[in-house]
Amino acid sequence: MRPIIRLFFFVLRRLLMPFMLLYAALSKPKPVSRDAVAQAQVDADCKGLTLYQFNTCPFCIKVKKEVHRLALPITMANIQKDSNARQKLEQQGGKSQVPCLHIVDHDGNEQWLYESAEINRYLQQRFAA
């Protein structure tokens, strides 16, 4: 049963892909503007962040909109195109669900943050001020 459900969602995603990509492109919010010093700090802070995602995932689109709105240069790891990224997400994060934000803090501590709402909350708390 599981493979059939997976196949159903695979086909559905393929059919919806052009519409999802169009929606993602058209619904991009205007990015916030910071002075050069503040943006440089944000850019440096984002070096420890990687968003695991893929293009036609609606939850990933939701997070990527927020990333764009907050003008965050976060590295994107596309798990459909990069099998190493998928493997790393599964093995280190614990599951293959996306979106997932990999956070490495200044001391090298790592966190794998799942759930689009949680990720957006984290980004807002850290970067919206």
Ligand X SMILES: N[C@@H](CCC(=O)N[C@@H](CS)C(=O)NCC(=O)O)C(=O)O
Residues near ligand X (CB under 6 A): 57-59, 95-99, 115-117
Nearer to ligand X, 57 or 123 (CB): 57
| Minimum distance, C-beta of residue 30 to ligand X, in the bound complex (Å) | 24
By CB atoms closer than 10 A (0-12, 13-18, 19+), residue 40 is exposed
| Minimum distance, C-beta of residue 116 to ligand X, in the bound complex (Å) | 4
Spatial CB neighbours of 18, under 8 Å, sequence gap ≥ 6:
none
| Minimum distance, C-beta of residue 21 to ligand X, in the bound complex (Å) | 14
Nearer to ligand X, 6 or 28 (CB): 6
Spatial CB neighbours of 29, under 8 Å, sequence gap ≥ 6:
65, 68, 69
